[in-house]
Amino acid sequence: MEKREGMNAFRGLQYSSSLHEQANLRKAAQHYCYSSVIRKCVGVSSCYLTPNENPYNLFSGKRNPRSIIVRSELAKMGTHEVGYPLSEVPLSSKIRGTCFYATTAITAIFLFMLMLVVHPIVLLTDRYRRRIHYTIAKMWASLTVAPFFRIKYEGLENLPAPNSPAVYVSNHQSFLDIYTLLTLGRSFKFISKTAIFLFPIIGWAMFMMGVVPLKRMDSRSQLDCLKRCMELIRKGASVFFFPEGTRTKDGKLGAFKKGAFSVAAKTKVPVVPITLVGTGSIMPAGSEGILNMGSVKVLIHKPVIGSDPEALCNEAWSVIADALILNKLESK
């Protein structure tokens, strides 16, 4: 093949090459740019390539070991958006996850039938709190988690009386948070996405329990949700909020939204902060198919009372944040 002379822009080098060699060089340049981007994304120090350190040996087609190192470092680190590292999930965690869902499904079927039978009585005698339904839900949650992890409670004396309405707030780490909180045996109304109500058995049970529906991106739905919560409190029921709005993906406590604290301030009921520890490591957000070994701690803090939603929000956030920091220090 006839060779032609020319300038080729790869690291400012000038040389004579064939068309085939130029094609290889273009591929190498693309890979070099890709490697540079990866290095920046994962925080690897940027080691500039010299003319002799091309990611590919242009004439032999062999890869430079340095590009392999960058890829392996990326695989080890993962990203904060992923609930579980990119490394291989242990088989035991996958098996435990499968067993967990099998247990919760079988238990839910039988207890849902019980809930269905007593539902007319509940609507006639306890329309707002629905304590019988929450007793059944506590049984479901307790039977589900008992074979897989242990829950330790601290500060149970800080819980208001069962018949006293309150606004409960907590950090949100995992899908397991709902199970854990139901074991407290309090008939507080959760806030849930409307799509979950369509799930067979679980969604139907939530509907009968009086869980408050919410469309997250719909401002009208958010306003209706807060109005419904205030109505329930005035009727003697309690409500439960995850004021972060969603599960944390990096383990850090996010900023609190003020909706829950506005409800508490307007209805003049106490805010009960609760700190959940351990659920995020057992079933990380984004990895709901696995279940790791571990235990869970539930810390119930003293109720906070006030008429200023912002002050209530800041105080509740500080209490939960301090508890998470203290627990982290104690675990070291």
- Give the lowest-confidence range in 25-29, 58-62, 152-156: 58-62
pLDDT of residue 217: 81
Per-residue pLDDT band at 75 (split at 50, 70, 90): very low
Per-residue pLDDT band at 146 (split at 50, 70, 90): very high
Per-residue pLDDT band at 39 (split at 50, 70, 90): very low
Determine the residue type at 252. Answer: K
Per-residue pLDDT band at 97 (split at 50, 70, 90): very high
Q: Is the model more confident about 72 or about 330?
A: 330
Is 70 exceeded by the pLDDT of residue 156?
yes
Is 60 exceeded by the pLDDT of residue 211?
yes
Q: Residue 145 is inside which H or E element, if any?
A: helix 131-145
pLDDT of residue 48: 36
pTM: 0.73
Q: Running DSSP on this structure, what letter comes out for residue 4?
A: B
Tokens of 270: 């106490």
Phi/psi of residue 96, nearest 5 degrees: -60, -40
User: How far is the C-alpha of 59 from the C-alpha of 124, rounded, in Å?
Assistant: 83
Is 60 exceeded by the pLDDT of residue 275?
yes
Is 60 exceeded by the pLDDT of residue 247?
yes
From 226, 157, 149, 241, select the one nearest 192 (Cα to Cα): 241
Q: Is the model more confident about 184 or about 218?
A: 184
Using alpha carbons, list the distances in angstroms from residue 174 to 248, 291, 303, 311, 318. 8, 11, 24, 27, 20
Q: Which domains does the chain have, with CATH numbers?
A: 91-331 (3.40.1130.10)
Cβ proximity of 172 and 244 under 8 Å: yes
Mean pLDDT of the residues in the chain? 80
Contact partners, residue 301, CB within 8 Å, separation at least 6: 155, 158, 272, 273, 274, 275, 319, 320, 323
| Edge-to-edge strand ranges of the sheet holding 188-189 | 150-154, 295-300, 271-277, 167-170, 238-241, 188-189
